[in-house]
Amino acid sequence: MAVAVLPTGAPATARDAGGGHHHHGAVLTADRAVSLLTSCSTARRAAELHAAVLRTGLLDATDRAVAFRLQRAYAASGRLDLSLALLRRTRDPTAIFYTSAIHAHSSRGHRLPALALLSDMLAQGLLPTAHTLSASLPACRGLSPGRALHGYAFKLALAGDSYVATALLGMYARAGDATAARALFDDMLPDPHVVSVTAMLTCYADMGALDDARSLFDGLPTKDFVCWNAMIDGYTQHGRPNEALRLFRRMLGSGVEPDEVTVVLVLSAVAQLGTVESGKWLHSYVKNSRRVQLSVRVGTALIDMYCKCGSLGDAVDVFHGIGDKDIVVWNAMINGYAMHGDSRKALEMFVQSREQGLWPTDITFIGLLNACSHSGMVEEGREFFQSMEREYGIDPKIEHYGCMVDLLGRAGLIKEAFCLVQSMKITPDAVMWVSLLAACRLHKNMSLGQQIADYLVAKGLANSGMYILLSNIYAAVGNWGEVARVRSMMKASGIQKEPGCSSIEIDREVYEFVAGDMSHPRTDEIYVMLDKMNGLVKEHGHVPQTELVLHDLDEATKEKALAVHSEKLALAFGLISTQPGATIKIVKNLRACSDCHAVLKLISRITGRKIVFRDRNRFHHFVDGSCSCGDYW
C-alpha cells in the first residue's frame, strides 16, 4: 500500500473520494488519482492527494494528467500560489497547463498576473488555443492588449470561434469601442450568445447610445432579467427615469421576475423623478416579493428614494427596519436629513454611527458638510473638513471642497472660499466656480465676481451656468453692455441655457412644465389659477423681484416673465388638481429663483397647504408662510 506523509505529519493512504475507507492492497494509479483530484474541493484535501502522488512517483510520469489535475485542484480551492508553483515545476508544460492557470487568475479578477502568464506561454513558443484567448481577453482592460489578442486570434484563425468572438466583443464593449463590438455582434447573427447580447446592450447603455440599445433590446426574441437590467440601467444613468419606469412595468408584464439589482435601479429612477407614489408602490412590491429581500442594499436605495421624494418620515421608518446597518445605510440617512435642511439631526446621526463603532467614509462627510452648508454652520463645517484628514485619514475630494466653498460663500466669507479654491491640490470643477459666482451675486461682491468671471472666460472654462451668473452679476449693477456681450459669447460658443423644468405627480402620473408652457390640456384653467395666485400674493404685500429678469425691459414685461416660471405653473396645476388641504409636491431641475420662493411661502399661508419643493440643491418645506430653509438657501 502506498503511504505518504501528510503536511500535518499523519500518515495517509490514498483514500477514495468518499474520503475514509482504506483500500487494503490497492495501489494509487494515475486514473484513480485523476478521479480523486477531479472531485477534490478543499486545499487540505488537495495537499493530502499531492503528498500521496509524490510518494507514488505519479508526478514524474510521462502522462502529465495527474500534474494538470493537481494544479487545477489547488486553483479551484483558492490556492493560486500553490497552483502556480506546480506549473513552474512542471517540465515542458503544454498550452492546456497555461490556459488553466490564466483562467484561474482572470476569472478571479487578477488581470495582470493572467496576462503575464499568457506572455510567459508565448515566450515558451506555445500557441494559444481558443480557450486560452477566451480566458485571457476578460483580463484586458485597455484597448491595446485587447487589440493585440484580436490580431493573434485572426492570425491563428480562431476569431470565428464562438467563445473567442464573445470574449472579444466583451473586451471592446468594456473599453467603450461600440463600433468594433457591433461589428463582431453582427457577425454572430442570427444567433448571438446571451453573453454577447448583454455585453452589447451594456456597452450602448454605458455610452448613452440609448436608441441603439433599445432597438437591439426590442429585437431580442427572448430577454432574461440581465438584459432588462442593462436597459433600465442605461435609462437611469442617462437621466431618462420615466422610460426606466415604463420599461420596468413592461418587464413585470412579460413575466420576467426582477432581482435586487432591478429594484435598486428602478428606485434610483424614482428618486430622480421625485415621484413618491411610484416609490411606495415599489416598496410594497419588495415587501411581497419572494426574490427580493429588504437587504442593506435595497434598504439604502429605499431610504435614498424616500428622501429625494420628500418623504423623510418614510425614510426614517425604513432605516429603523433594517437590521445590522452598515455605514452606507447611515450615510443615506445623514444625507437625507441634510437634503431636507434638518442639519442638527444629520449631525446627531453621525455621532450615533460613531457610537455604533462604524467608521465614516468620504460620503459621510459630503452629507455632513452639506448639512452645515444648508444651515450656515460655518464652525462645524470647518471642523468636519479638518477632521477628515486629521482623524480619519480621508483625503478631501472635489465634492468636499465644493461643499466648503458653498458653505463659506453662502455665509458671506467669499474671500476665504476663493483662497480655499486657490489652495486646492485638485483642479476646481465647474460646480465650484458656479457656487463662488453665486455667492458673489448673493452678497453683491461684484468686483470679485467680475475678477472670477474674467479668469473663467480667459481660460475658456465658462459653461452655461456660469454665463447665466455672469450676466446676472452684470445685470445687477446695470451693466447691460456686458450682459449683451456675455449673451453673444454664449451664442458664439453654442452654449444653451438649460431650460427650467418643474414636474408634479398627480395620481401616479407625472406632469412637466417649462416657463410659459401652453402645452397642457388644462392650460386655460392653469392660467386662470395663476392670475388668481398673483392677485392674492400682491394683496399680501408681495412685490415681484423684477431685478432677476435679465433683459433691459420695462417693469410690466418683467413681471409677466416672472409670473410664468415653471414652478408657478406646476403649483397652479396642483391647486386645481388636488383636494383642498392636500400637500403639493413639486420637483425642479434647477435652483429656485427667489421670487418663486417668496410666492410659494405666501401661497402656503393663503391656502393653508403644505408645499414640498425640491430644487437642484435641496428640499424646501413651505408651511403657513415660512420655509424649512429659514430663507438660507
- Looking at residue 25, its pLDDT comes to 42
In a domain, 110, yes or no: no
Q: What's the CA gap between 365 and 3, in Å, rounded?
A: 62
- Looking at residue 554, its pLDDT comes to 61
- Looking at residue 555, its pLDDT comes to 63
**How many residues are given for the chain?**
633
Q: Report the SS3 class of residue 254.
A: helix
CA nearest neighbour of 53 among 27, 18, 87: 27
∠ CA 292-109-149, rounded to 5°: 125
In a domain, 381, yes or no: no
In a domain, 623, yes or no: yes
In a domain, 549, yes or no: yes
Sorted by sequence, the CB contacts under 8 Å of residue 616 that are 6+ apart come out as 588, 589, 590, 591
- Dihedral-angle region of residue 559 (phi above 0 means left; psi in -120 to 50 means alpha; beta otherwise): alpha
- Looking at residue 551, its pLDDT comes to 52
- Looking at residue 348, its pLDDT comes to 97
Contact 600, 585 (CB under 8 A): no
- Dihedral-angle region of residue 608 (phi above 0 means left; psi in -120 to 50 means alpha; beta otherwise): left
Contact 612, 559 (CB under 8 A): no
Cα four-point dihedral sign 590, 595, 601, 607: negative
Q: What's the CA gap between 86 and 47, in Å, rounded?
A: 12
- Looking at residue 16, its pLDDT comes to 41
In a domain, 20, yes or no: no
- Owner of C-alpha cell 455604533: 356
Cα four-point dihedral sign 248, 252, 256, 259: positive
CA nearest neighbour of 310 among 628, 632, 63, 37: 628
Q: Report the SS3 class of residue 128.
A: coil
CA nearest neighbour of 130 among 161, 102, 109, 107: 161
- Looking at residue 22, its pLDDT comes to 42
Contact 66, 38 (CB under 8 A): no
pLDDT tens-digit series, residues 305-353: 999 999 999 999 999 999 889 999 999 999 999 999 899 999 999 999 9
In a domain, 522, yes or no: yes
List, edge to edge, every strand of the sheet that includes 619-623: 509-514, 501-506, 584-588, 611-614, 619-623, 626-627
- Looking at residue 546, its pLDDT comes to 66
Contact 209, 179 (CB under 8 A): no
Q: Which domain holds residue 528?
A: 502-627
Cell numbers placing 81: 500560489
In a domain, 246, yes or no: no
Q: What's the CA gap between 198 and 217, in Å, rounded?
A: 9
Q: Which residues of the chain have pLDDT under 50?
A: 1-25
Cell numbers placing 117: 502568464
Q: What's the CA gap between 405 and 321, in Å, rounded?
A: 36
- Kindly report the backbone phi and psi dihedral angles of residue 12, in degrees, each rounded to the nearest multiple of 5, phi listed first: -130, 150
Alpha helices (H) along 289-396: 296-308, 312-321, 327-339, 343-355, 362-375, 378-392
Alpha carbon 24 to chain centroid distance? 62
In a domain, 594, yes or no: yes
- Looking at residue 495, its pLDDT comes to 67
What CA–CA distances, in Å, run from 599 to 432, 607, 629? 29, 12, 15
Q: How many domains does the chain have?
A: 1
- Looking at residue 21, its pLDDT comes to 41
- Looking at residue 40, its pLDDT comes to 86
